[in-house]
Amino acid sequence: MKKIRVLVVDDSSFNRKVISEILESSGKVEVVGRAFDGEDALQKILKLQPDAMTLDLEMPNMDGFAVLRWVMANRPMPVIVVSARESDRSVFKALDLGAADFVVKPTRTASPDLKNMEEELLSKVLAIPALKLDRVRRRVEAQAPRPPAEPPPQAKGSRRAEIVALAASTGGPPALQRILLGLSPQLLSPILICQHMPPVFTRLFAERLAALSGRAVKEAEDGDLLAARTVYVAPGGKQTRLERQGKDLVVRTGPRQPEDRFAPSANHLFRSLAAVAGKNCLVAVLTGMGDDGTEGARAVNAAGGIVVAESESSAVIFGMPREVIKAGAAHHVADLDGIADLVNRHALLDAPSP
């Protein structure tokens, strides 16, 4: 198998060394060069023609944002941002500019703790061959979504999705933004979002979704009562589920277990929806590598709920939705706008204003 040729860009020589060692330890990555700032990165991109790049955002002379803009305009390639936690808000700007995904450095300074990001960094770089860069770019170019479609009239009893849940990994933030912006203003059903993302960033992502969509969006907290018209983002580093208390549905968050590959995990969330909502829920599995969501989608399907998988035509990485389809758990396969339409069709709506 051809190795993935990667350029490592970071202003710290120690970080460049550690990141290079992590990548090359897989045997599937060749680090073709290392750059110490943005100007050096552009020269090495032109000279070395890498397949992909890891990119620090805060660098002297030319920062990572300027590099991203140039790359996406002149030499498009998958870019994985390797960011300090202190640069948390900058990550979302980088995703808007076309970065495929991000990994958080445990510390801004040179430290052996950088090795702690080994598994996450490797998994995201090794997913690059499956990543559809043209779809990343299309989502950047089409950030202004279509107006929310008016949901068609439905037969009595067909609006049964009292709860909606959306799950995503790589490529998920812009996909989730587009879906939320395509939903009817009359939508009543609460929405739960499971986006693979580390702690702190899920709270910032919730704030971002609220600002972009005009909806009530919050990071879910243990003990939250699900409320109409509200979007809940599962907190990073924890598992989120729902439980029923009388007539109320309550959010429960708990610690990540050693066996958990993802926290938050779509499987954990979807299984709880199947148990407490049964046929009265709709779940959608969006772009991402791996199979998180498949087991939970099976449970929702078996309980009579509605399962949607993002289509290959729009997914940045088709892994997660493909596994749901292969398992026979998906009732619908649709692109992002189609998923918004399905939510509009099946979720509960408020009566329109006279």
Q: Give the mean pLDDT of the chain.
A: 90
Q: CA-CA distances (angstroms) from residue 164 to 191, 240, 310?
A: 5, 14, 15
Name the nearest CA neighbour of 173 among 85, 271, 89. 89
Six-digit token pair at 120? Answer: 């996450």
Asked if residue 86 has pLDDT above 50, the reply is yes
* Region 177-194 average pLDDT: 95
Q: Do the strands 4-9 and 52-55 form a parallel or antiparallel pair, or are they unpaired?
A: parallel
pLDDT at residue 133 in the model: 80
Q: CA-CA distances (angstroms) from residue 152 to 29, 158, 200, 329, 345?
A: 50, 11, 38, 25, 7
Reading phi first (left if > 0) and then psi (alpha if -120 to 50, else beta), residue 192 is in beta
pLDDT at residue 147 in the model: 60
Q: CA-CA distances (angstroms) from residue 162 to 1, 245, 330?
A: 47, 16, 19
* Region 189-196 average pLDDT: 97
Six-digit token pair at 243? Answer: 């439980």
By annotation, the residues acting in catalysis are 169, 196, 292
Q: Give the span between the Cα atoms of 346 and 189, in whole angstroms.
A: 10
Looking at the chain, the whole-number percentage of residues with pLDDT higher than 70 is: 88
- DSSP class of 161: B
Highest mean pLDDT of the ranges 107-111, 259-263, 316-320: 316-320
User: What is the residue extent of each domain of the chain?
Assistant: 4-131, 163-346
Name the CATH superfamily, with its identifier, for domain 4-131: Response regulator (3.40.50.2300)
Q: Do domains 4-131 and 163-346 have the same CATH topology?
A: yes
26-71, pLDDT tens digit by residue?
Answer: 999 999 999 999 999 999 999 999 999 999 998 888 999 999 999 9
Six-digit token pair at 94? Answer: 């980088």
Q: CA-CA distances (angstroms) from residue 190 to 105, 199, 228, 349?
A: 34, 22, 5, 11
277-335, pLDDT tens digit by residue?
Answer: 999 999 999 999 999 999 999 999 999 999 999 999 999 999 999 999 999 999 999 99
Q: Give the span between the Cα atoms of 20 and 4, in whole angstroms.
A: 12
Q: Record the pTM.
A: 0.90
- Residue with the two structure tokens 């198998």: 1
pLDDT at residue 354 in the model: 45
Contact status, residue 104 vs residue 83, Cβ threshold 8 Å: yes
Which fold is adopted by the domain 163-346? Answer: Rossmann fold (3.40.50)
